[in-house]
Chain A
């Protein structure tokens, strides 16, 4: 790691004022991603501003059944918080299926929202990468891209967004509460994450010095039976090849409301709006689920080694929907009807 200086701050105003005033400063929370990136010279801050003492650790149930999660709350604490487990099991599951117990004890919710892609070329300072150094090109387009995205890509970047938690939050229409020099902002989770487009270096809709202070999840009764399905190369401690966060309401066998978001497949936590529009009003059957999955993946673009993700994404959607509607028996392990 390059030399860095260090400031520990006790209040939000000092944290924001200090980082905003110094372009070389970065917030430091759990450090699980930031320290790693500093060490491999992908991140190059001159100072780390430690925000772990800020009073942003609360996990509160809101009137009406929502939840507000402080930005410095740890993944492990949020995963086991009763209001989260009871009202939004998809959040708890997404957290517990991510990282390792040690990392979950360290990593903060705000940091989780700000985490960077694990694309090997982004992490290799000798490789061309438009996300790390705009204009240098994308090594992944023709490189080792088995883990890369098939949705939301551009000719400049196909890096997969690594999140589990944010996939659940995007499905739930969560709101990211930020504070910056100009004051507070509320940003819908889906808008918080940016597509790579022509500016893959810009990943979040916030500016330097603006601090994520909390995430608010609005009430959603059908989320009490929501689930997070994560498909990966090994059973634990691995990023998703494909994942789905899903909540469904069914009346008389017909889908009346659905929230579906995908991870591991896209350049940002991916709200599956095509699939949702196919599902609403349709019977809750395997045929509907397959049609929804086909609609969502219709626009997928493979880049060689990751072509399998299109079919994997379809099957992940079908299995997640089958599981959450209580008809897990209708699908076999490969996601197909028996």
Chain B
């Protein structure tokens, strides 16, 4: 087998990629299990596409620069920031928002826990907190409060409802048993 250095790897310099934009193009997104076509420019973030084109306003716009976590959604079941994700990059991926979490009118256990533990004041960060918290439990890191603090540090709560947010996460963790829930399943 040739070593890496012996492999030539030279590449023809040719702009052969298919170009879309900069004007609006049709972008096909799968959001909460439903395919939707939207007409957006490539520069449009997933956050703006969700809120302004798909009327899914549960996902909140906080800092719009990846610092606050208010826009946390799942892409292919992993928690990510919708503000730093371009909508066009999500074609062929599955997007899940806070609207996709409940089963009809039946709240997800984490949503119920946020209500019963009073885990918010103004509520602006709450959708992002919940999307992050459900993914966090599925990741299996929620051993103790220190771990919850660390692994939820990407979601800022300006009202500082942190003790109650941790209580909500503990509640769902403990209700689900030691194995952890298949929360994003």
Chain A residues in the interface with B (C-beta under 8 A):
1-9, 12-18, 20-22, 25, 28, 31-32, 35-36, 38-40, 46-50, 52, 76, 99-103, 105-106, 177, 179-184, 186, 209, 216, 235-237
A179 in contact with B9 (CB, 8 Å): yes
B132 in contact with A102 (CB, 8 Å): yes
Separation of A105 and B78 alpha carbons in the complex (Å):
7
Separation of A28 and B89 alpha carbons in the complex (Å):
10
Indicate whether A31 sits within 8 Å of B153 (C-beta atoms), given known contacts A48-B42, A184-B8. no
Interface residue? B125 (CB, 8 A): no
B80 in contact with A106 (CB, 8 Å): yes
Interface residue? B105 (CB, 8 A): no
Return B29 CB to nearest CB of chain A, in Å: 14
Supplied contacts A13-B11, A99-B154, 15 more A-B pairs, CB within 8 Å: A3-B23, A4-B43, A5-B19, A5-B20, A5-B42, A6-B86, A14-B17, A15-B17, A22-B15, A28-B86, A36-B65, A36-B66, A179-B11, A181-B11, A235-B150
B80 in contact with A6 (CB, 8 Å): no
Output the nearest chain A residue to B20 by Cβ-Cβ distance.
A6
Separation of A105 and B81 alpha carbons in the complex (Å):
9
Instruction: Count contacts between A and B, CB distance < 8 Å.
Output: 146
| Interface members, chain B 54-109 (any A CB < 8 Å) | 64-66, 69, 72, 78-81, 84-86, 88-89, 91
B12 in contact with A13 (CB, 8 Å): yes
Return A20 CB to nearest CB of chain B, in Å: 5
Separation of A167 and B101 alpha carbons in the complex (Å):
39
Q: Which residues of B have CB within 8 Å of A180?
A: 11
Q: Which residues of A have CB within 8 Å of B42?
A: 4-6, 48
Q: Which residues of B have CB within 8 Å of A32?
A: 66, 81, 84
Partner of B154, one of A102, A181, A216, A235: A102
Could you name 30 residue pairs across A and B whose Cβ atoms are closer than 8 Å?
Answer: A1-B43, A3-B41, A4-B21, A4-B22, A4-B42, A5-B22, A6-B88, A9-B17, A14-B17, A16-B11, A17-B11, A20-B11, A21-B13, A25-B15, A28-B86, A28-B89, A31-B85, A31-B86, A35-B86, A39-B64, A40-B65, A47-B19, A101-B153, A101-B154, A102-B81, A106-B84, A177-B4, A180-B11, A184-B4, A209-B13
A102 in contact with B69 (CB, 8 Å): yes
B11 in contact with A101 (CB, 8 Å): no
Number of interface residues of B (CB under 8 A): 49
Separation of A100 and B72 alpha carbons in the complex (Å):
11
B136 in contact with A101 (CB, 8 Å): yes
Q: Which residues of A have CB within 8 Å of B122?
A: none
B81 in contact with A236 (CB, 8 Å): no
Return B59 CB to nearest CB of chain A, in Å: 13
Q: Which residues of B have CB within 8 Å of A235?
A: 149-150
Separation of A235 and B78 alpha carbons in the complex (Å):
24
Indicate whether A20 sits within 8 Å of B4 (C-beta atoms), given known contacts A35-B86, A102-B81. no
